Structure formats: structure tokens, C-alpha cells
Amino acid sequence: MLRLLLLAFCCCVLLKVQAQPQQEIGWPRQLTKDGNAITYYQPQVESWKDYKTLVANAAFALTPKGGKETMGVATIEAETNTDKTDRIVYIRNIKYTSVRFPSIEDDHQRAAMEKVFRDIMPTQGDQISLDRLTTQMNDKANPNTPTVQVKNDPPPVFFSQTPAILLIVDGKPVLSPIEKNSMEFVVNTNWDLFYDKSHKQYYLLTENVWLTAADFKGPWTATTSLPKDMSKLPAGQNFDDVKKAIPPKGGTAPYVFFSDKPAELILIKGAPVYSKIKGTNLLYVTNTDNDVFVDNDKELFYVLLSGRWFSANNFEGPWQYAGDKLPSDFKSIPANSPKAHVLASVPGTIEASDAVMLAQIPTTAIINKAEAEKQVKVTYTGDPQFAPIETTSLEYATNTQDKVIKDGDLYYLCFQGVWFMSTSPKGPWKVADNVDPTIYTIPPSSPVYNVTYVTQTNATPTTVESSTTAGYFGMFVVGLVTGMVINYGTGWYYPPFMYWGPMYPYPIYHPWPCTYGAGVVYNPWTGGFAAGRRAYGPYGAAGTSAWYNPATGRYGRSASVQGWYGGRTSASSYNPWTGGYAHTNQGHNAYGQWGHSTAAVGNHWVQTGHVTTAGGTAVGYRTAGGNSGVITTGNRGNHVVHTNNGNVFAGHDGNVYRKNTNGSWSQYTKDGGWNQVQHNGNATHTNPGRIGGNEGTQHVMQGLDRSAAQRNRGEFQTRQFQQFQRSGGLGGARGGFGGGHGGGFRRR
């Protein structure tokens, strides 16, 4: 529904709550203690169960005090917590289940070296970039990844080659009075739309041009004459930017396309200009913000909308779903193409695999039960009303913006990524240790389906761990014939709750999220969808929704923080998936508004000591030589993170290998040297003195080649994301996703 979407969405954050984003410095890392020193290399992932439990091998070089350097391999098991905003994985409760020294045969010497290793290595916590882990998981994808049966019916798609906008009113206009003013504004739309009751005339602000019409459906004409009360709009309430356009300054009026349901607009600047994608039979349209392609072989047009592909014989349509019929050439779009960002929506590509994986990685917070319970209150329009959830025995509350679910005599509330329960729909609410498994059978056809992506585990008398994945923010894994991809929205239309009653001077409007209507685009760096095309207006483009605040008796309105009318820096933002609103821009995790005393997430674990590198305090440094890193001072000495990626690897045979500059491999030997490894048919041979026996097979070398390629890609992806961070989160694929902002949490 309109006003809809959410640019708080998902994982989709371009602004940070913290002043300085966290960054993973690099590998290998060097630690020292009591004259002993160790260099340990980037872990090589064996498994990452539920993206919470990590098992990996890591090569290391240990130099005991007064001794010589000896190489080894350690197997690591640890718990993880992922900060997808900064793309860092925090590792805690580290266990070294195996420590091997291939060159040491004496048991006493090996035991002494293992003791030094265990004494110096971190056990409380460490960190690694998310990309370094995910790039190692593509060949370990779970074939049983749960998928969602979304609807793929095409939305209304309008087309224009001249300046145009898309005006969407979700059903009939919901008119809200304006304080001390005869004018009213339309709540359920994506543009600034006002109604003059005395003259029964509508006024529409499109950027800096005013239009007027007797019917909100149009036709619209430009005007430089406004009702007098338009100059008396109150300060705040998101009217400040509207007031800057009064009196009207004139200008070129765009054509207004109208829809009473979520729709999309293909807007091309003049006649289409095509550019060929190298190595394919595909062309793409360069003079549009839309992702529009032409397949020369089939002479079909393709457009990407909310992560879904649709095809037609021409721009005018009709459009039909084409996700399972996408030409194979789409997989061959080069990574350096201006249209490379669509690869995340092409099934069978590594980019699509990355997106699917990222959508499954949870964001976890440790919730302080008592603090959370103080902040929860549910407000209904009248007495609580419930409607059945099809295919289940559950019901959901219809006349509130909160997600309240009735389960027999119990009531569950999913609020800002945390589950609560009560014996009354009005509370009091207590943090739930877990919820009825029936909750997780809610189908996508229900407007509260997204709560099935929130879980709670590891409860204690005072805390509980709450986790959310991308589905909570409206991003869903969809299985196609050729692979899995991420779609935005379920494709279902959820009618809004509207109430006209004697207690209210105007209609009450509670919207639900929808799939279309804001031109959303997937951003691989945030792992979420962002909206920002100007044709969709300051509210549709912001991906936000109107909300009614019963405490003030007013409607709030939400807007993009960037790009509109000089920037809506004070605008409220609303997330219809999570059901919250605020005057701040939070990260994409659902716990940003709780406060650190209530929910400890990601980097805050480091700041509060939940994760430390050595039981000390982490601070940044930069040397005179330009090297940067982290020094952790504590009871384990000074730990330095180096910035080079490292070329030493743990083999599956338990030996240590080095990737040479010419692409060949060398194996660490008993005498502490390196012998070159050579491929010969199905076997692997080294020079005399090699160790490893029959384990030195082609299988080992293939694993090393794969690990090296994954490490290189992880390094590249990490650096690319750090550039994205330094750019302020703008400029990613498609030139910036203008206005993909956090937010969407309620302030009581």
C-alpha cells in the first residue's frame, strides 16, 4: 500500500547511526605476548551452521620466545553475530578444537608449542568482514534453503518518454485536517496532495510545480494560484518543504499518471537510447533510471521490478512474469557493466547466491527483558479487532499498526524485532522466551507474514537472544527453475484498515506494506532494496507510509531524507513491515531504536566488552608509514591487525601451503622450508622432503585453488564495500539509490 514501502527497508541502510562505521582491517593478524609471537591467516570456512556457528581452519606461524618460527593449522569453532550494516561478523566463544604442527614429530615439543598457541590466541572474540565469509560459502549453499511462494502478477505499468510522475492513491483518498487551517491533505498517497473543501479542488505539488484538478484522478493542469490557507501551513509536520514552494514559482508541468493501486512507471528521457552489453545479445536502455533490456534474439523487452523480471513485446505492454524464462545471456552480463547490479536478480549467478545468503544471515541482539518491557505499549483504534489468518488457527489484530497475533487465550506481539506475550490484547507485555511454533506457519498471504522471520532463543531470567532475517523487512528468498533469488514483497495486496466512527473527526487509516509503487532496486552492499526514483514522489520514493499517532490525534507523514525539496532532514520515517516510525534514521537492523541498555547488537558487543580481541580495549591507529590497524591492549599484550591479505593456507590434509606469485603452490616441510607442489594428472607431487603422504592429492590442490580464489574475491568485495562506506553509502550500483535510508522505529 502506498506510501508504502520502506526505505528503512530491510537491510538497506545508507546512513549510519554511529558516527564512524566499523571496518575490518585485514589479514593476516599478528599477536604478541611475553616474547611469543604469532601470525594467523584468514580462516577457511568448513561450515557456518544457521550463520551462527562457525567451523573453520586457519594457518598460522608461531614463534616462541627465543625459538624459530613454526607453521601450523588450527581448527576453530565459534559463535558469530553479524552486523550487516557494517558487514562485519563478530566472533565469540572461540574454541580451538585441533592444533596441528606438521613439521613437529616430538610429542613433548608439540604439546609445548600448542600451549603457547592457546595462551596467545584470542578466545573471547575477534572479527572478520562478512564478505570474507560469504565468498567461501557459495559452494556450500544449503539445497534445502526455505523459499517463499510469492505472487508474481504484474502490477499496472505505465510508460512515458516525456516528463511524468506516478500519483498513487491507495483506494479512496483519506483526508486529514490541518491544524488551524481549512485545507486538508491526502494521507494515502505518495505526493504532497491537498484538498480545498470550499472550492472542491485538489492541489498537487510535483517538485516545485503546482498542479490543480477537480478530481484527484485528474486531468491535472499547472497553476500559479493557490488558496490563501496554503500559505498558513503549520511549521513541522513535514510541511516545511512544501512551504518553500509557496508562492508557486511556475515551471514545466509533468504528465500525471494515476493509479488507485500499487503501480510502476517506466520513464525514458526522449527516444530510447540503447547500448549493447558485450558478449551477449542484450541491449539496455541508457536514458532511463529503470532496468530495461532488449533481447535481440527474441525481440522481447525485459524490465526488473521489485526483484522480479517481466517481459513484453514493447514498452506499452502487456507485461508478463518472466522469472523462469530469462534468457541465459543475462548470466553473462560483465561484472564491470553499468548494469551489473541486476546480476543479484538473475538466478544462477554468484551475485544472486550472495544475495540469497545475505538474506538468511540473522542479525541478533541480546535483549534486556525488563528494559524492553518498559517501552512496549499497543494502541488500537477502538476496541481490539481480530481477523483470522488463513490456513492457521491464529488471528491478527486489524486496527493497530502493531503486529499482534491471537493464539487461543494468548496474545503475541512482535515489536521492533522482539517477541512479547500477554493474556490480554492490551498487555501488560512480557518478553517471550520463545513463541508457539504455529506462528511460523503463517502464510505469505497474511499481512503479518514477516513476523515469521523473528526468533527468540537462549533465554535466561533476565535476557533473551532475538534474531531477525531479511524477511522481516520484506525481502524473501524465491526458488526458480534455474536457481534462487531475492524478491521484494510477497506480491500480495493487503487492503488497509480504514475506520470512520463518531469518536474520530476523520477516517483512521492503517496501511500494510506492498510490493510495488516505489521503483525499488536491490543494493548488494546493504543487502536490501532501496527506492529513490523521483517519479515516485517524496513519500513513495522514500519507501515510507503514513501513520496515525493516537497520542496527538494527528497523522504523521514520512519522506526521503535526501534529494527532495533540499532534503527532508527532519522528516519522520515509517516502516510498514516492522510497524514503526521515528524522527531518526536508524540502521537496517530492527534493534536500533531500543537503545544499548535494552538491545546489544553488533559493534556494541565490542564497545561493551561482549567481544574483545584480548580482554582489553580496542582503539584505532595509523602508523607514520601509512599502515592502519587495531591495537588491543589487555592481559594478552598488543595485537596488531595488518592490512595485507596473506597467501598462506591450510590444506585439507592438515598441511600448510603457500600460494606463490607465479600462481604455483609450495608446501611447508618438516625442516621448516618450502617445496614447490606440482600437478601431474590426478596426483600432486612435491620435491623430495615433502610431507603429507597420500593425502597430497588433486583433491587437496583443488581445494587450495578454490580457497585462494575465494580469499581474493572476499578481499575485493571487502575493499569495494569500504569504498561504498567512504562514499557515504551513495553511488553504489545505479548511481546511488537516492534516499535509501534507515529509520522506521516508533517513538513513544
Cα 249 to Cα 245, 424, 552, 606, 611, distances in angstroms: 7, 55, 34, 52, 56
List CB contacts of 568: < 8 A, sequence separation 6 or more. Answer: 238, 241, 538, 542, 559, 560, 561
Cα 241 to Cα 237, 541, 570, distances in angstroms: 10, 16, 10
Q: Of 311-315, 380-384, 596-600, give the lowest mean pLDDT range.
A: 596-600
pLDDT of 269 higher than 50: yes
Residue 208 included in any domain:
yes
Q: Which residue did the predictor score with more confidence, 606 or 158? A: 158
Span 378-400, pLDDT tens digits: 999 889 999 999 999 999 999 99
pLDDT value for 138: 82
Residue 397 included in any domain:
yes
The residue with cell 507485555 is 429
Q: Report which of 261, 495, 513 is spatially closest to residue 398, judged by C-alpha positions.
A: 495
* Counts of helices then strands in the chain (DSSP H, E): 8, 51
pLDDT value for 547: 46
> How many structural domains are present in the chain?
2
Residue 507 included in any domain:
no
Using omega within 30 degrees of 0 as the cis cutoff, is the peptide bond preceding 384 cis? Answer: no
CA 334, CA 279: separation in Å to the nearest integer?
8
Span 481-527, pLDDT tens digits: 889 999 999 999 998 888 776 666 667 788 888 899 888 888 887 78
Residue 241 included in any domain:
yes
Give CA torsion, residues 549, 554, 559, 564, to 10 deg: -160
Interval 42-49 mean pLDDT: 96
What is the extent of the structural domain holding 459?
363-468
Grid cell listed for 604: 556494541
pLDDT value for 141: 66
Residue 227 included in any domain:
yes
Q: Which of 209, 238, 259 is the last residue of a domain?
A: 259
Residues forming beta bridges with residue 63, ordered by sequence position: 37
Beta-carbon neighbour count of residue 43 at 10 Å?
24
Interval 232-250 mean pLDDT: 84
Q: Which of 209, 226, 259 is the last residue of a domain?
A: 259
CA 722, CA 255: separation in Å to the nearest integer?
41
Q: pLDDT class for 563, splitting at 50, 70, 90?
A: very low
pLDDT of 6 higher than 90: no
pLDDT value for 398: 94
pLDDT value for 598: 75
Residue 623 included in any domain:
no
Span 326-339, pLDDT tens digits: 999 999 999 999 99
Q: Which of 468, 489, 518 is the last residue of a domain?
A: 468
| Global model pTM greater than 0.75 | yes
Grid cell listed for 688: 623430495
CA 447, CA 413: separation in Å to the nearest integer?
14
Residue 274 included in any domain:
no
Q: pLDDT class for 679, splitting at 50, 70, 90?
A: low
Residue 254 included in any domain:
yes
